[in-house]
Amino acid sequence: MDDMKKIGLCVHYLSIFSVFFLGTATLKGEGASLDEVLSRMDAAGAKLNSMRAEIHQKKWTAILEEFDQGESGQFSFLKTDEGVYLRKDIEKPTSNTLVIKEGQVIFYQPSIKQAQRYNLGNHEDKAEFLLLGFGSNKKALSDTYETNLLGRETVGEHNTYQLELKPKSKDVAAFFVRILLWVDDKMWVPVQEQLVEPTQDYLLIRFAEVQLEPELSKSDFKVDLPKDVKIIQN
């Protein structure tokens, strides 16, 4: 896989929130309807301007029937009148930083002293996809995905509603044929998501220690590159 495709997948993965290491168990009893869950997510998302959390992710490869070693670090996002700012700092096993802001993606790998930078261009509107479940518009979700409510589950200490999203667009389905969101029933944001690729490989991401509305500014999304770093402009 070439570097551009890897970064492209990273951009899509950054939007998605699954779980690993935490087990799940089905909750008994009746809950909200699909429309009620989407409406509560819509209301919470409209008020959500910033978030910070620990991020843990790992990739399942179907043909090998195994996970990779996984990654962990920090994730944050800020929503302003000027746009959306996203940042993922992976700390283990190898550090790297991915930032999306002002229509531009920066992927920095300190271990090889290299940073890749490219413009979203006509795909700048995909920043909305990167916030899937975090500030997602109810109508936009319904227009873009076939949406089903699968039931209630516990994810670690979180009581959640499990949503299934199937992309209507062939372009999105080329990346993910099925997306599962586990939405916390108090915060009304995802604490887990599973993104299934056409090959049946999938990515699992867990958010822990979620902070809503932390104090963040645009300067928190600045990437300071040392002078000896090679910058590749795509």
CB 159 within 8 A of CB 179: no
Residue 221 falls within a domain, yes or no? no
Residue 140 falls within a domain, yes or no? yes
pLDDT bucket at 22, cuts 50 / 70 / 90: very low
Residue 225 falls within a domain, yes or no? no
The total number of structural domains that make up the chain = 1
Confidence (pLDDT) at 135: 62
Residue 51 falls within a domain, yes or no? yes
The share of the chain scoring above pLDDT 70, in percent, equals 80
CB 203 within 8 A of CB 16: yes
d(CA 172, CA 176): 6
Confidence (pLDDT) at 119: 85
* Gyration radius (Cα) of the chain, Å: 17
The share of the chain scoring above pLDDT 90, in percent, equals 53
Residue 125 falls within a domain, yes or no? yes
Domain that residue 155 falls in? 3-215
> What does the pLDDT look like over 97-129, one tens digit per residue?
999 888 888 999 999 999 999 887 655 544 444
CB 105 within 8 A of CB 99: yes
Residue 220 falls within a domain, yes or no? no
Largest CA distance in the chain: 59
pLDDT tops 80 at residue 156? yes
Confidence (pLDDT) at 125: 45
Supply φ then ψ for residue 12, to 5 degrees.
Answer: -70, -40
> What does the pLDDT look like over 63-83, one tens digit per residue?
999 999 999 999 998 999 888
Confidence (pLDDT) at 17: 34
Confidence (pLDDT) at 187: 92
CA torsion, ordered 66, 71, 72, 73, to nearest 10 deg = -160
pLDDT tops 60 at residue 53? yes
**What does pLDDT average to over the chain?**
83
Higher-confidence residue of 197 and 103: namely: 197
Residue 232 falls within a domain, yes or no? no
CATH code where residue 19 lies: 2.50.20.10
d(CA 137, CA 146): 14
Place of tokens 């978030």: 51
Residue 231 falls within a domain, yes or no? no
Confidence (pLDDT) at 9: 54
